[in-house]
Structure 1
Amino acid sequence: MLKQIDELPGHVLGVHAKGCVTRRDIKTVLEPAVDNFVKIYGGLNYILLAESSIWDYTTGAMFAYLFLIIKYYTKWNKVAVVADDKGVQMFTAVFRFLIPGVSKRFQFKQMDKAIQWIAKKDH
């Protein structure tokens, strides 16, 4: 399941993944939020709080996520992934080579640091 995180600065899109994440979650939660942020801000500062393990993501979710990354290829400014699961960390390490922006991985105990980093306007 994906849920948008509301308690972040307005220019930051945050999503919380918990339990099973499906293609439908990507298409109904993440994609509309990304569309909206790109329209408003022209780019994305995105933080993913991943409590789900890599095995909780369906194949359909993985492909939908990949296609979303490609669709907005030039719009990813900064990406922060907060996860303790080694599989999620490996998966995001691979995907960070697919985006032109800057990305960082954080552990749950570093959540405050992740939010500070993603919220900082670098321009």
Structure 2
Amino acid sequence: MLKPINDLPPQVAGLHAFAEVTETEYEQALVSLLEDLLNKNNRINFILVLETDIHNFSPGCWCGSIKIGFKYFFKWKKVATVSDQKGVMGCSDLFKYILPGKFKTFPLDQLDEAMRWVSKR
């Protein structure tokens, strides 16, 4: 299940993942958030908080992320991934070698720091 993160600065979009997340749910939620953000800003600052086991993500979610990443290739500015799972950290780190922008991972106990980092202009 995905829930948008509210109360973020206008230049930031975010999703909070918990329980099971399907590829379709992830892609629809992410594209909707990114389109809304790009209507207000020229760049994407995004935070993803994962409080679910990586096994609760359907296998296509990460592949869908790459597809979406390429769709908005020149728009990425900052992406923060917040999770305590090592597997998530490794997958998320791959994006910094594929897409422009800054990508950083944070453990869950540093959520406030992640929010500050992704929000900084």
RMSD of aligned residue pairs (Cα, Å): 1.2
* Structure 2 partner of 1:90: 90
* Structure 2 partner of 1:64: 64
The aligned runs of 1:1-123 (5 Å cut-off) are 1-121=1-121
- Aligned residue identity for 1:11: Q
- Aligned residue identity for 1:15: L
Q: Secondary structure at the match of 1:20?
A: coil
CA contact (8 A) 1:53 1:88 kept: no
Q: Secondary structure at the match of 1:69?
A: helix
1 CA distance for matches of 2:17 and 2:39? Answer: 24
Q: Secondary structure at the match of 2:62?
A: helix
Unpaired segments ≥5 residues, structure 2: none
Instruction: Calculate percent identity across the aligned residue pairs.
Output: 34
Per-residue deviation at 1:62? 2.3
Per-residue deviation at 1:29? 1.1
2 CA distance for matches of 1:58 and 1:28? Answer: 14
Per-residue deviation at 1:3? 1.2
CA contact (8 A) 1:83 1:107 kept: yes
**Aligned length in residues:** 121
Q: Secondary structure at the match of 1:97?
A: helix
TM-score normalised over the length of structure 2: 0.93
2 CA distance for matches of 1:5 and 1:95? Answer: 22
TM-score normalised over the length of structure 1: 0.91
